[in-house]
Structure 1
């Protein structure tokens, strides 16, 4: 039985609103980078770990803004392929379970519920919107939402298709959702977390391979110099 006087370990994780804010800019601010860090590659950070690295004042502000949630149990980062993960979260993101992920260059990275042709068409369209956003920003129009929705009825109560744009690991991603976009849930956070964590693990693995290669070349050079003596 736990002692009631024992300190409780709290963990921090982004809310859906925190994800939309933290990953909205190609050049994130220090506060946005601090928010992104909460989606660590393996599991949620403790509040103490995060505050030591950043700021308790920031944490209080982020919680007040609704960008951060404090939980009492660690949450493990997703370790699955995007297509597999979309099968798991699509019902939580789309009213019709149709979701796709596209790059800012127009490539379809994953899909659920769409045919390949439908997904490819939507991802190419999303890339066109990315170019549109860049042009408008260059002209001085501060486009902050980074989301576009299309409606089939004049009352505009329910979108047919929504495009949500995020910058993750310095790469642009479009999350494409058919019918009602259900973003206000943990599944949306975990989807973005999965993209971020996968990229960071890949980069870490690549760095380890390069380090081993450099060490091998150094050892071979040392052996060759030793043999010349």
Structure 2
């Protein structure tokens, strides 16, 4: 593994699927998630110092991380607008829905609102079904599920990918051929993660600013008294 500071790391689609597949991620999954930093791609050296060069080598060997020679800026995502940009790279028919784990449609492309709402509820119901069956001992673990209308099962009609980003569930619903083995899929997940982390950071700074103003007001009151 090269040690130069100008070697950057990013997740592969397989790395995204593995790293964001669990509501209760392992330490290695959290380490994979951290590769998608909120502002820009991390250097291999910085990530290795934070976690482990051994893990970095292993993740690259597993095909979960790839190295880049140039820095990549994290996407700034407004889901509806961003989905229009990446829909063709995710779905053979450019029909995609992003749903919450509560069954609400967060963004859609190529579907009517009613279709998107129906699919969002169905995705949440099916995820709940999988969880119940796992609790009963059905040893099924995976990143998603596909439904077929043809008995030959050569091409799915609808696929659902289950993702957990910033401790929140997201379901990526793709019509026709799912095309997730590309950088657009990585950028979509990266954008959702980075946007959430930026929002949390701004909220923390606002709370700290309010606290400082409150302390200053108390000091002024004490001085007057």
Query: Structures share a fold, TM > 0.5?
Result: yes
Q: What secondary structure does 1:181 align onto?
A: coil
TM-score (norm 1): 0.94
1:28-39 paired onto structure 2 within 5 Å = 28-39=25-36
Q: 1:165–1:173: 8 Å Cα contact kept in structure 2?
A: yes
Does the aligned pair in 1 maintain the 2:159–2:175 contact within 8 Å?
yes
Contact 2:156 2:177 in 1 (8 A): yes
**Cα distance in 2, alignment partners of residues 217 and 125 from structure 1:** 47
Q: Is the 8 A contact 1:38 1:50 kept in 2?
A: yes
Say whether residues 1:15 and 2:12 are aligned partners: yes
Residue 18 of structure 1 and its aligned partner are, at CA, apart by 0.3
Partner-residue secondary structure (3-state), 1:141 = coil
Is it true that 1:67 corresponds to 2:87 in the alignment?
A: no
Contact 2:5–2:43 under 8 Å retained in 1:
no
Count of residues paired in the alignment: 222
Q: Distance in 2 between matches of 1:226 and 1:130?
A: 59
CA contact (8 A) 1:24 1:144 kept: no
CA distance in 2, matches of 1:226, 1:8: 52
Mapping for residues 1-229 of structure 1, pairs under 5 Å: 9-228=6-225
SS, match of residue 102 in structure 2: coil
Any gaps of 5 or more consecutive residues in structure 2?
none
> How high is the TM-score relative to the length of structure 2?
0.96
Task: Tell me if structure 2 keeps the 8 A contact 1:38–1:45.
Answer: yes
Q: Which runs of 5+ in 1 are unaligned?
A: 1-6
